[in-house]
């Protein structure tokens, strides 16, 4: 049965680690949808740390711009960890600066449709970026607004939502599947 789970929190809150634990509890084999791009040596190190943390038998799929396409090609019933929505939105914004919002909304809708069509157990990691100061520059404000709306779209469709603070997951939503009611 298709399930959507969202882990959100601040930078270095432990959300990826908690999402990895969650995915491991639901399947031995997990597809890991990576959205990060190694544009510099610091980002390469971050990606390397994430790779070292997760089980080596998980299959990594690079999807920096088209997570929905990758989801649509996975075997039905798979457990998938998408890390992270924040970088996916950033990548789409930078690739479509003139008109990012329709592209991002279309990608989020396509991801949700693929998740349902393929009956995937999709675990999504994202950042809460709107809890801090207002960015001083226009692109930062646009990004904050876009990721806020994308997070809302995913959370509205999610069966479970967790806010991770200092490594501790706080349950925000836990919906029972229709068959359990």
What are the binding residues for GTP? Answer: 9-16, 34-36, 62, 83
Q: % helix / strand / coil in the chain, to the nearest 5?
A: 45, 25, 30
Tokens of 114: 């693929």
Please tell me the distance from the alpha carbon of residue 168 to that of residue 14, in angstroms, as a whole number. Answer: 8
Residues carrying an active site annotation:
50
Q: Which of 172, 160, 180 is nearest to 4 (CA)?
A: 160
Determine whether 25 is exposed, middle or buried from the number of CB atoms within 10 Å of its CB (0-12, 13-18, 19+): exposed
Q: How far apart are CA 132 and CA 177, in angstroms?
A: 34
């Amino acid at each position: 049965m298709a399930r959507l789970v969202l882990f959100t929190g601040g930078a270095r809150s432990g959300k990826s680690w908690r999402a990895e634990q969650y995915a491991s509890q639901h399947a031995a084999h997990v597809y890991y949808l990576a959205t990060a791009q190694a544009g510099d040596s610091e980002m390469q190190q971050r990606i390397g740390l994430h790779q070292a943390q997760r089980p080596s038998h998980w299959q990594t799929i690079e999807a920096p711009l088209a997570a929905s396409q990758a989801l649509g090609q996975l075997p039905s019933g798979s457990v998938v960890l998408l890390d992270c929505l924040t970088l996916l939105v950033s990548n789409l914004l930078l690739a479509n600066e003139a008109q990012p919002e329709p592209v991002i909304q279309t990608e989020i809708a396509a991801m949700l449709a693929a998740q349902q069509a393929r009956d995937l157990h999709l675990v999504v990691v994202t950042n809460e970026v709107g809890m801090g100061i207002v960015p001083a520059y226009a692109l930062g404000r646009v990004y904050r607004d876009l990721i806020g709306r994308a997070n809302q779209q995913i959370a509205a469709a999610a069966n479970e939502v967790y806010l991770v603070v200092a490594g501790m997951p706080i349950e925000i939503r836990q919906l029972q599947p229709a068959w359990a009611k």
